[in-house]
Chains A and B, each alone.
Chain A
Amino acid sequence: MLFFTKNLQFAYPGQTRYYFPDISLDSGDSLLVLGKSGSGKTTLLNLLSGLLVPDSGEVVLNGVIVNSLKGVNADRFRGENIGIVFQKPHLLAPLTVKENLQMARHFSKSEGLDLDNLLSELNLSHKSNSSIAKLSEGEAQRVSIARALVNKPRLILADEPTSSLDDENAHKVISLLQNQASKIEAALIIVTHDQRVKDQISNFIQVQAP
């Protein structure tokens, strides 16, 4: 099993406890995490990426217990093994498109993907040296997807990637994520409240507010 979680629990100080269903994924698998706003979807995403540490239970990726890693090790592991696509692109504005990807490469020691290849696959070659401010919304999102892929991670986490897109583009983005994930043999988890995505990915779990 490439990735699995067991008995994850988490509570923000002074709030009721979240209990999350177990997840298990092999390389190339995709999973949707569905739920309404405030149901704890983003909390789960933070737990899976190691940005938050669960109160109990474990998150295991490629044999490593993610929630037991500390400090620099946790950060390095995240950089090398987990690619995150945020709801908004959150690119570093002072850098060009390519430099944004190079920055992600900088924090990882693993062998990554060829940047020029990746950019051309995502149809971004011509924007390689553009500044972030000159990108359209769709382009910026593709750059953020490229950034998540560049270190050849084993797990790709996407947070509401389709929320601001029309049907056609939402469809395109999900296919892109699926294709790229299976190409680098990574597991893909998409957190969303967007029911349209269910047409493309049938495997899902539902999280509910406690």
Chain B
Amino acid sequence: MHIEVSGLYKKFGDFQAVTDVNFEIEKGQLIGLLGPSGGGKTSILRMLAGLESVDKGDIVFHGKRVNDLPPQERGIGFVFQNYALFKHMTVEGNIAFGLEVKKWSKAKIKDRVAELVELTGLSGFEKRYPHQLSGGQRQRVAFARALAPEPQLLLLDEPFAAIDAKIRHELRSWLRDMIDRLGITSIFVTHDQDEAIEVADQIMIINKGRLEQKGTPWEIYKNPQSPFVAEFIGESTIVEDASSLRGFGNASDWPGTKALIRPEYVEVGKPSDFKLLSATESGRVRHVHFRGSEWLVEVEVGSTRLVTYRSLEKEIVHPGDEVQVLIHRAYLFNNNDSWIMENKLKEDPMPVHI
């Protein structure tokens, strides 16, 4: 289903939950609504579902304005955060519910339920009640129930929030495969950036009720369009005075410019590790954390503290070590503008061409 949202506003009492949100979604895409808790993601999702009224703006499905349609008539499937399974119905009963209210024939319902049970890997659990299932199984029942009436749009509200880390990972890729196979337009809400980056075709970053940026995970990572997005995606450090960093001296042309530096922009090592020593400055290692697949190194340069990753293959650094620090690039921003700047000293001032 093709979805178009324009000028969407929503207020709860005095709280402005959603402000001027505009976006368009192509058919068959999987979209992640990402942002901090309380940022308005769920409100947007609920307005798409018709569970919340719209204050201002238009929601258009397939060229048809649906603002005034109740949820029953929108042709959507909704997976709730805590699944909201009908607790007095069995797995089968839950999946069949939407078909029964749509007055499908008994035989058709039976076939469709069997198909979905198969699809979601719930065979053998048809007669169980929700309280007899694990979190992951409940999630799949909720998914099957939402899909049963063949909706055109699937909405998922924090679908993995209540599941433990290991199974969450499995379920994520399972969901991705499933949605790819069905080709159904889907939107899910999450506050977990890894989840959004891993699963979504496109991410929409929502903050304080506004859509900050929409794009593929890579676009958003590579080219954040606002300081909020830059800071929200990935781990990063903010340096108050960008021009104090070595190689970024000309940032002082724009007074009041701050720098946001991601761990992967920073490299630490011994002086012999760098080709152009002049682009580095010396710092001292403050802390080293083992992250399972890499080291997370906190290093202090002057009064700024930067964070970087270090491969386990490289020589181990210890707190207190003197190291050379190279900042490859920085994301600079001030009140009016933001841009990415490369380290000016990294280019060899006297290149030798042979």
Q: A and B: partners?
A: no
